[in-house]
Each structure stands twice: as structure tokens, then as C-alpha cells.
Structure 1
Amino acid sequence: MNRISEFRKAANLTQSELGALLKRSQGAVGHIETGRRQISIDTAKQLIKIFNDRGVACSLDDVFPINN
């Protein structure tokens, strides 16, 4: 499981706001957060940049841990 929801909330973003930044719908963000939808490495990097730009320091390993 990923930690996108946790970092999104720490960045003080709603699913709709994050979706707008990613050019995706709120529903798509919800599916990404729950693991129902896979994302590309480019989208994952875009997520990390969005979070870091909003003061939430994180890396790919933080958001997508290998060991759950």
C-alpha cells in the first residue's frame, strides 16, 4: 500500500486539489490512493515534487515503501 493519502493530507490538499495538479479527477486520485489504479513512474515523481513543493519532505521510498 502506498502512503499518498498521508502525504496529501500533510500537504493540506484535498483529493480534488491534488487531482487538478495532476490533471486527473478526484475519483482517479482516490483510486490511486487505495491502490485500485496504478500510476507511471513519471506520475509518481510528479506527486513527490508536488508534496516537496508544499513543504512535505518525502522521497519515492517514503511514499511507496517496499515493505508495508
Structure 2
Amino acid sequence: MTNIKQILKNIGKSQGLLAKSIGISQGAVNHYANGNRKPSYEMAWKIVKALNELGANCSFDDVFPEPAFETRQEKKSG
């Protein structure tokens, strides 16, 4: 899961505007935002950069946090 939707909401911008700023379809942004598709590493950085250019003040980890289940597994094995 990503925080794309929440960040866009916080800055009052749309998925369509984000999509236009990085040259992909609004549908692709929606798939990334809902976790239906995982962006490539390069695309993920483009998304973070575009969000910041649109007024967000976010890091890669803010937009793409580690999944909670991985954190729990790491705690069990650690």
C-alpha cells in the first residue's frame, strides 16, 4: 500500500494532475495508489519528485512505507 492518495488529499491535488506531471495515465496512478500495481523503482522516485513539486514535503518512505507484515516478520525473526 502507498500513501499517494493521502498525500494528494493533504495538498489538494488530484491523481490526474500527478499523472500529467509524470507522463502516465490517471488509471496507472490509481493502480499505484491502491496497491494494485507496484511501480518500478524509477517510477516510484518520479512519483515522489512530482508530489514534492506539487507542494508536498515528503520522502520516499513517506510515500512508499514498508508493508506492516514485513515489519512484523522482521521482529519475529530478530
TM-score (norm 2): 0.74
Q: 1:53, 1:21 → 2: CA distance? A: 9
Contact 2:18 2:51 in 1 (8 A): no
Runs of 4+ in 1 over 6 A off after TM superposition: none
Q: 1:24, 1:35 → 2: CA distance? A: 16
- Which structure 1 segments of 5+ residues have no match? none
- Per the TM alignment, residue 48 of structure 1 is displaced from its structure 2 partner at its CA by 1.3
Where do residues 1-68 of structure 1 align in structure 2 (5 Å cutoff)? 1-68=1-68
Distance 1:35 1:67, change over 3 A: closer
Structure showing greater Rg: 2
Equivalent residues, number: 68
TM-score (norm 1): 0.83
Distance 1:25 1:67, change over 3 A: closer
Q: 1:53, 1:31 → 2: CA distance? A: 21
1 or 2 for the larger relative contact order (CA 8 Å, sep ≥6)? 1
Identical residues among aligned pairs (%) = 37
